[in-house]
Structure 1
Amino acid sequence: MGLELKRTTILAIALFILVSNLFSSDSKKPLSKTDNQAIGILENYCIDCHDEETKKGNFDLSFFIENHEENLHLVFENLITGKMPPVNKQRPSQTEQEKILHWLSKKQNNHSINDYRRTSRHEFVYSVNDLLGVRLDLAENIPEDRGTNDFDSNRKILLTKEALDSYFSAADEMLDFALPEKGFPNEKIWLTNSIKDSHDTYSIYTQNYEDGILFSWTRANNGNNYSFFYDHFEPPVKGWYELTFDAKKLGQFDEDVSILVYSGKYYFADDRPQPQRLLGVISLTNKELQSHTIRAFLHPGENVSVHCYSKHTFRQKKGRDGAFIKQLKVKGPVLEKWPPKSYNKILDGIEISFEEKKAIKAPIYQTRLKAIGGSLSVSSEQIGMEKEKMQDGSNRTFWHSRFRPTVAEPPHFVIIHNKEHKEIHGLSYSKWTGGNGNGQVKAYSVYLSDDEINWGRPVIKGKLDTLRSYEQKIIFPQKTNRSFIKFEVTDAVSLDGKSIASIGKLDVITSVNDPTLRSKISILSKSEKDLKGVIRNFAESAFSTDLTNEDLLPYYNVSLLSYRNEGHFLNAVKAGLKSIICSHRFLLAPGEHSNKYYETASKLSRILWLSVPDQELLGLARSANLETETIRQQIDRMLKDEKSKRMIHSFCSQWLNLRSFDKVNPSLKLYPEYNDILNHYLPIETETFINHLIQDNLNINNLIHSNFAFLNQRLAQHYDIKGITGQKIRKVSLPEDSVRGGLMTMGSILKITADGFDTSPILRGAWISKNIVGNTLSPPPENIVAIEPDHSNNRNLKEQIEAHKNNKACYSCHKSIDPYGFALENFDATGKWRTQYKIEKPHRGTFQFTLGGYYNLSQRVDSSGTVENQKFDNISDLKKIIISDHKRIAYSFIKKFFEYANGYQPSLSERLDLFGLIPNNPKNCKTKDLITEVLMYSLRER
């Protein structure tokens, strides 16, 4: 480099400092000693490679001078993490590095943050749940408003009208659930061992066995997990229900058989599937009958279904292996105690009266017609195919008009007797699903009568779809309560020219009068003083502070106005509570507090529990006893509390981007073994691992590599680890040569950094750079075309990316991204180990799922590379390189946790402080200790 150009660059730096001083109170001062020292350090270690002419890494310090705020972070991060200068160049001493870092941190002029932020949807729901003593998951009912921010605690996110409306609606629903005006529904008990009809292509994988049902594993032709729906139970009201399956494993193999339990709307065939929620997984070990209970929140209109998984029973039709379920027992809606926790929590000290609750057995009706006391008659019937077959709850059995020994003369019809004169809205028809279709109804007419003699004109005529196997509804023009309804067959399928008719199921569409009995709790107090006491106690818990009467006046007024107008104590309480949880004081964090101790308690609980402080924290704040050592003790207590798992889930979802886990579904052609049970456990593995690092205060290096993992049978199968049975997640020691251990080789991480079809070293490398090693990355230029990996051509993936990096604008970032991603190329888009790439191959005709998939093997995987002048051959080598710098791992982690906890990225001076929290000795760098230090630092007044 020419001496003149070098002097120009140094001059530019000096000019930058002088110009910066124009905007400060020291604008008349010349360059300080610190400024001159900084210029000297830059001259000695940086300018030779990063002047306007050389511009290594496409970085020009003179350009940095002109655009210093944009690039300040990049220079600072490269220095503090030791990324620059490179290890093969002369590097500044520790003292010199500290000087330049402090100097850079002082040059950050603009780091303003909002004093308040909106309460996130998860914080709102958890907080209100804890305040009311209920458990409702309503966060998904509130719009996601994170935008492009990494964390939903970001202080830049504003409270929108749309969000407010959703908060208010959620508040109403939670208050009505906690304090129902009509009382609490009594518990009922349902017993069932029958399933609803399913398409013939799937029903063959269930069979009657002993006094229950034996299920084998199947998947729908389109690859969906096909579920079998239990009959004779539908939740009458929303609430928590206990689902108890009496079940056992059948089979001589070692592995457990799994029952995946879902809830959702019933569907007959996979061509019209309905969304299903996975409630839980039951793992069958024993060959003797045992009871297995899952507690789940259910809604009216949902049905419970099961999908039984075992690799040994795939599409077995007449086998004797699988999951045997004798019966399903449902109890609910259940309460943990009576009177419920919500009353004890909200109305503490208020006198109430109540009766003991009892569970009652729910009546089971095969059809709605039977439930309303109705019956039916027919024009004729064949022996073995009588009219009762239409009312046995299955369309595998059926009614058929007489065809032997003589064929009955038309018309063929069914008459429904509405003995109780119930209001009927229409009919529900299903064809029978067996046979050749002979006699299936093609057209019909419906008549009404009061005497079964005079029918008049048809009230409705229509045609039915003979190809449709599931329910077809016939809605009347007007509802009727007349005594007789005739369903007359006017046209039917006839394969032999004879007039016949057949029906699988025929039922009425009506509201079954099965009122839900409720247990009421009477509030004996009529005192406005008691009402105000309830409001005060709730408000002080919600706002996490002592409150004056003046503070409480708006909330008093709302509840008292309601009470004086309606005279209803409970409704007045609900009105007052809603005004509290929908107030700006509750919806904006950190809130207003009467002393610093309450503020500390509020911040701790919001970060670690996503909620309000409990009584222990509030008591310490009230007595001004929340100082340094006590805070540390409380952090330890709070992390041990079950509620800290909320923080684990929230932090992992955002820091590791697990929130996008379900946005990509792996290709069924390339990865046919991927299924719902694996999809369920992959993120659980990650969260359990992080929770363990915190609870046991393990070394932060475990994020990169650990000699253990948290696995169960399905995860172990996916990772090719032998000897693990049962679906309970447990800590498993890994062999020394295992490629697993740590975050980077977990299936959840490998799935979210792929597109479901192929892997991308760029996506995976960017994820590691950003979330693990903490490289500062710039967004890609707008005119750069993304790489679509192609394993079928002559160039391998590495060569394709190298060609992409010939562009200087690309190279500067890709050198810090791609090597990390290449190290993970031995893991496919689901996280399974591979040595060769797969290429999708076409299938014939309509796609039919097969466990063999539709692919060919292609090029061999190359997972070698060079990162920061250090070569590696595989992921194990890369892990060793990353672990060699524990401070870099810890620094990246605490920056992320600081941002999560505080709602903004730390300033450069705060980053210096955070870096100073990291122990010099790698053995002392523990996960919980780092979290504790970040929290203590965040609570400090700065």
Structure 2
Amino acid sequence: MKHFGFLVLSLFSSAAVAAAPEFQPFLEQHCMDCHDGEVKKGGLDLSSLPTDGKDAAALKKWVRVFDRVAAGEMPPPKKKQQPSADAVQDFMASLGADLSTKYNARKGTVLRRLNRNEYQNTINDLLGVSVNVTDALPEDGRAQGFDNIGEALSISGIQMLRYMEAAELALNAAFSLETRPEKKTQSATLESDRNKENLGKQWLKRDDGAIVVFNDGGYPSTVIPNLRSKAAGMYKVRVTGYGYQIEEPVVFALLTGSFNFRNADTRTRSFHELPVGKAGTVEITLHMPQNHGIWISAQGLNGPDGHSAVKDGPDKYPGEGMALQSVELEGPFITEWPPRAQTLLLGDAKLKELPPEKPWMKGKYNYKPTYTAECADPVATSRKTLPSFLAAAFRRPVSAAEAEPYFKLFDAEWSESHDYLIAIRTAAIGALCSPDFLYLKEPDGKLNDAQLATRLGYFLTRSAPDAELLAAHVSQPEVMRAQTERLLKSDRLERFIADFTDGWLNLREIEFTTPDKQLYPEYDSLLLDSMLRETRGFIAELVRSNLSVSNLIQSDFAMLNSRLARHYGIAGVSGLEMRKVKIPDGSHRGGVLTQASVLKVSANGTNTSPVVRGIFVMDRLLGMEPPPPPPGVPGVEPDIRGATTLRELLDKHRNMESCNGCHRVIDPPGFALESYDVIGGWRDRFRSIDKGEQVNLKVDGRRVRYRLGPPVDAAGELSTGAKFAGMEEFQKILLSDQDRVARCIAEKILTFATGRAMGFADRGEIDKIVTQSKARGHGMRDLILAVVQSGIFRSK
């Protein structure tokens, strides 16, 4: 609390409070002379604000005034007539009680819907399939940075239609095979009839049979011919080859999808490398939908133009290449047969493939068979299968009365189609689009075992609770701890890490802007992939090893691979696998604020803004919400030519009285990050397009075109008076107030876990969590364990 203890309070120069009758004497005596309908100092009119608690903005102002009075900032110390300590205490007690009542009334009114990630995870886990349905669903609304907050998850007729389509897609995948698919091994090379013309022109065929490509494989295409998944499932892909005329291992991207020339409907994308000089084999295990192909795309090769012949032939070309010998596809590996959906819904019925309308289509790579289900007594079978399916889908026991609408839905469809599969699928789609499936139905007050299990399951696995969790009495603290520990060790924890981190640190926006290729020629898709994996791997390491949240501010390790280590200027890291690396002295790295992913999402494609980054630090790491800019005040536009730094423009901006109060708090954290560019690289000078010093540097064999502009100034002074010369000193200031960071992370975790924003009424419980966490060194795992034992998590 040394420097940031009351930093948030200085932001709210225009804070306000709605006058409740019991507060009126205090307000009349100490506040109204500056904040009535005539004066409105700071834009605040106390006399006209709502007092019923229905206005969220007004409630925020109540909280801000509470905080400012608590800090002794209001009434202003310079004011002659000051309230007595007893008067202040009475005012705060009365206001605090009223705020708690209003926030408690608001927090339990929202019914939370599954977001599209949760819907996909749940439906795949329930049916035993692996189908991408998120692309078919509308993007979810967000609040507090997360897309699983009840108040932001509305639903419309169009969205319900999309849910029906997604459910049908998943069910069709579960009923797409009548017999267990046979595991086979297929092998192919780039050499095929359609690729013959490329040999000796763009491609080089060597004596060992390898075909060398010199560019990214977009044209001529390096989609592997005649190699496709015969059925959906897990596959092993083995790529054999080596780097040709290259000093370091050659990197390739493995993409799978439905390919149409260069365009790819990709379902996976991962990066791998082949050794230099001699052949090596890389094995990748991944899920592939039926009829998906494989594309091996070399990375970082800038060979001759693919649309023209190589001068003197490819055997004379001196540049770098990738020699590809073969690609092998083995699978599918089926761990559960029949799929869970067939076990739940078919009962005694048996799938039977229907003959195609055009017999010649059978056997074609894009042929999709259709099925019926033969059943001796369809109605009786539906009465046996539907109740168990509904119980699994609704995550609780289902009564006969609750099952009756789905029986009627089956009967109506059966009477029309006389096809058990069509009828049972229709009933199942109805269930998968019902409120009992789409919503987490939590009553006000304490949650029971089943409701707590569901909340814990969606919190840490991003899906419905498994059988063990549903059967556990998690209302008992020791059982809750044991189940939480079990889930924290599960493979599905990766879902939690990705969803929580993407919302908390806004990593889902990492591709929202593309860095200017002229300014940042070193940026590539491998660096982007490595950025995301670093931050997610870093947070996962904090959780698994129970490391202190202080590592978020400054750590002595990073999760790196060779690509990211090169970007950071850290030597001695080889290979593309992420691993824990000790940070050498003087590297300017350590903590999330120095990670390229965070630095990229807090910038745009051409330049950085201390304002944007300052707000990011305050909101995401310190739990401080700055107010919006005053209406009618223009923002500060950077000079992309590099003639004037944004810092110089902000200095002029802060001369405006209406801007200075907030910017003197917001800007300094952003100044501390000025030594990091748009893609998270370290810089001493800004880059510019047409102003400044020319640079004698090549990236991937090409001379850079950017110029070096003015020097970077990363010094600043906080509103508390604490000064720093750069990021390292700023980190030390943050480390002096670890409790604030721990509190912020606790609030973010609670928000994500409960699907609602934390309010004034939650402060006391959060204080207990932070106190408990501090006694254990603010370990990240301990913080999660404290959250799930809290009254906030255990009730709505």
Alignment TM class, shorter chain as reference: 0.7 to 0.9
The partner residue of 1:582 within 433, 442, 446 is 433
- Structure 2 partner of 1:18: 21
Code of the residue aligned with 1:578 in structure 2: it is: I
Contact 1:751 1:831 in 2 (8 A): yes
* Distance of aligned partners of 1:115 and 1:841 in 2 relative to their CA distance in 1, 3 Å threshold: closer
Task: Map 1:481-630 onto structure 2 (within 5 A).
Answer: 526=377, 530-562=381-413, 568-590=419-441, 596-620=448-472, 624=473, 626-630=475-479
The partner residue of 1:71 within 37, 55, 61 is 61
Cα distance, 1:69 vs structure 2? 3.0
Task: Map 1:785-864 onto structure 2 (within 5 A).
Answer: 785-790=634-639, 795-841=644-690, 851-864=702-715
Provide the C-alpha distance between the structure 2 equivalents of 1:674 and 1:230, rounded to a whole number of angstroms: 27
Task: Map 1:846-885 onto structure 2 (within 5 A).
Answer: 851-868=702-719, 869-885=721-737
Code of the residue aligned with 2:112 in structure 1: it is: R
Code of the residue aligned with 2:732 in structure 1: it is: K
Provide the C-alpha distance between the structure 2 equivalents of 1:95 and 1:133, rounded to a whole number of angstroms: 64
Code of the residue aligned with 1:582 in structure 2: it is: C
Code of the residue aligned with 1:547 in structure 2: it is: V
Contact 1:823 1:875 in 2 (8 A): yes
Cα distance, 1:543 vs structure 2? 1.4
Q: Greater share of helix residues, 1 or 2?
A: 2
Q: Does 1:151 align with 2:151?
A: no
Provide the C-alpha distance between the structure 2 equivalents of 1:540 and 1:266, rounded to a whole number of angstroms: 40
Cα distance, 1:325 vs structure 2? 2.0
Provide the C-alpha distance between the structure 2 equivalents of 1:301 and 1:96, rounded to a whole number of angstroms: 75
* Distance of aligned partners of 1:830 and 1:212 in 2 relative to their CA distance in 1, 3 Å threshold: farther
Indicate the larger mover: 754-763 or 522-531: 522-531
Task: Please give the secondary structure, in 2, of the residue aligned with 1:618.
Answer: helix
Provide the C-alpha distance between the structure 2 equivalents of 1:275 and 1:203, rounded to a whole number of angstroms: 30
Provide the C-alpha distance between the structure 2 equivalents of 1:331 and 1:59, rounded to a whole number of angstroms: 69
Cα distance, 1:190 vs structure 2? 3.7
- Structure 2 partner of 1:400: none
Cα distance, 1:19 vs structure 2? 5.7
Provide the C-alpha distance between the structure 1 equivalents of 2:528 and 2:551, rounded to a whole number of angstroms: 24
Contact 2:543 2:781 in 1 (8 A): yes
Q: Does 1:936 align with 2:789?
A: yes
Provide the C-alpha distance between the structure 2 equivalents of 1:795 and 1:516, rounded to a whole number of angstroms: 61
Cα distance, 1:294 vs structure 2? 3.1
Task: Map 1:893-912 onto structure 2 (within 5 A).
Answer: 893-912=745-764
* Distance of aligned partners of 1:519 and 1:219 in 2 relative to their CA distance in 1, 3 Å threshold: closer
Task: Map 1:8-407 onto structure 2 (within 5 A).
Answer: 16-18=19-21, 69-76=59-66, 103-108=94-99, 110-111=102-103, 112-113=106-107, 114-146=109-141, 150-156=145-151, 157-180=153-176, 189-194=185-190, 206-215=203-212, 218=215, 228-233=222-227, 241-250=235-244, 253=247, 255-263=248-256, 279-285=269-275, 288-296=278-286, 303-309=293-299, 318-319=317-318, 322-331=321-330, 334-337=332-335, 339-342=337-340, 346=344, 350=347
Contact 1:202 1:218 in 2 (8 A): no
* Distance of aligned partners of 1:144 and 1:626 in 2 relative to their CA distance in 1, 3 Å threshold: same
Cα distance, 1:697 vs structure 2? 1.6
The partner residue of 2:630 within 774, 781, 791 is 781
Provide the C-alpha distance between the structure 1 equivalents of 2:709 and 2:373, rounded to a whole number of angstroms: 73
Contact 1:198 1:228 in 2 (8 A): no
Name the larger-Rg structure. 1
Contact 1:64 1:72 in 2 (8 A): no
Cα distance, 1:586 vs structure 2? 1.1
Cα distance, 1:116 vs structure 2? 1.0
Cα deviation 1:691-712 (Å, max 9, x = unaligned): 2211222111111111111111
Task: Please give the secondary structure, in 1, of the residue aligned with 2:515.
Answer: coil
Provide the C-alpha distance between the structure 2 equivalents of 1:610 and 1:905, rounded to a whole number of angstroms: 18
Cα deviation 1:495-546 (Å, max 9, x = unaligned): xxxxxxxxxxxxxxx9985796989998787475553332222221221222
Contact 1:102 1:909 in 2 (8 A): no
Indicate the larger mover: 196-205 or 525-534: 196-205
Provide the C-alpha distance between the structure 2 equivalents of 1:320 and 1:210, rounded to a whole number of angstroms: 19
Code of the residue aligned with 1:575 in structure 2: it is: T
Provide the C-alpha distance between the structure 2 equivalents of 1:242 and 1:146, rounded to a whole number of angstroms: 37
Number of residue pairs matched by the alignment = 739
Contact 1:185 1:516 in 2 (8 A): no
Identity across aligned pairs (percent)? 24
Higher RCO structure (Cα 8 Å, ≥6 apart): 2
Q: Does 1:915 align with 2:767?
A: yes
Contact 1:590 1:602 in 2 (8 A): no
Contact 2:642 2:710 in 1 (8 A): no
* Distance of aligned partners of 1:859 and 1:344 in 2 relative to their CA distance in 1, 3 Å threshold: same
* Distance of aligned partners of 1:636 and 1:148 in 2 relative to their CA distance in 1, 3 Å threshold: closer
- Structure 1 partner of 2:53: none
Provide the C-alpha distance between the structure 1 equivalents of 2:93 and 2:701, rounded to a whole number of angstroms: 61
The partner residue of 2:517 within 650, 665, 668 is 668
Cα deviation 1:835-858 (Å, max 9, x = unaligned): 111111499xxxx99733321111
Provide the C-alpha distance between the structure 2 equivalents of 1:516 and 1:15, rounded to a whole number of angstroms: 66
Provide the C-alpha distance between the structure 2 equivalents of 1:912 and 1:792, rounded to a whole number of angstroms: 50
Cα deviation 1:326-362 (Å, max 9, x = unaligned): 1112345x242362442575269x568899xxxxxxx
Query: Which ranges in structure 1 are unaligned for 5 or more consecutive residues?
Result: 1-11, 22-30, 356-421, 424-509
Cα deviation 1:66-85 (Å, max 9, x = unaligned): 576342233456688x7979
- Structure 1 partner of 2:310: none
Code of the residue aligned with 1:872 in structure 2: it is: F
Cα distance, 1:665 vs structure 2? 0.6
Provide the C-alpha distance between the structure 2 equivalents of 1:884 and 1:95, rounded to a whole number of angstroms: 32
Code of the residue aligned with 1:933 in structure 2: it is: A
Contact 2:672 2:730 in 1 (8 A): yes
Provide the C-alpha distance between the structure 1 equivalents of 2:414 and 2:532, rounded to a whole number of angstroms: 48
Code of the residue aligned with 1:208 in structure 2: it is: K
* Distance of aligned partners of 1:730 and 1:200 in 2 relative to their CA distance in 1, 3 Å threshold: farther
Cα distance, 1:149 vs structure 2? 6.0
Query: Which ranges in structure 2 are unaligned for 5 or more consecutive residues?
Result: 1-14, 51-57, 306-313, 353-358
Indicate the larger mover: 759-768 or 791-800: 791-800
Task: Please give the secondary structure, in 2, of the residue aligned with 1:306.
Answer: strand
Task: Please give the secondary structure, in 2, of the residue aligned with 1:739.
Answer: coil
Provide the C-alpha distance between the structure 1 equivalents of 2:92 and 2:462, rounded to a whole number of angstroms: 35
Cα distance, 1:891 vs structure 2? 1.5
- Structure 2 partner of 1:371: none
Contact 1:835 1:861 in 2 (8 A): yes
Code of the residue aligned with 2:206 in structure 1: it is: Y
- Structure 2 partner of 1:472: none
Provide the C-alpha distance between the structure 2 equivalents of 1:610 and 1:327, rounded to a whole number of angstroms: 38
Contact 2:174 2:342 in 1 (8 A): no
**What value does the CA root-mean-square deviation take over the aligned residues?**
4.6
Code of the residue aligned with 2:432 in structure 1: it is: I
Task: Please give the secondary structure, in 1, of the residue aligned with 2:284.
Answer: strand
Provide the C-alpha distance between the structure 2 equivalents of 1:646 and 1:278, rounded to a whole number of angstroms: 16
Task: Please report the TM-score for the alignment, with normalisation by the length of structure 2.
Answer: 0.81
Contact 1:352 1:523 in 2 (8 A): yes
Cα distance, 1:303 vs structure 2? 4.8
Provide the C-alpha distance between the structure 2 equivalents of 1:13 and 1:839, rounded to a whole number of angstroms: 43
Provide the C-alpha distance between the structure 2 equivalents of 1:20 and 1:298, rounded to a whole number of angstroms: 64
* Distance of aligned partners of 1:527 and 1:825 in 2 relative to their CA distance in 1, 3 Å threshold: same
- Structure 1 partner of 2:355: none
Task: Please report the TM-score for the alignment, with normalisation by the length of structure 1.
Answer: 0.69
Cα distance, 1:819 vs structure 2? 0.8
Task: Please give the secondary structure, in 1, of the residue aligned with 2:295.
Answer: strand
- Structure 2 partner of 1:924: 777
Cα deviation 1:812-832 (Å, max 9, x = unaligned): 221222111111111111111
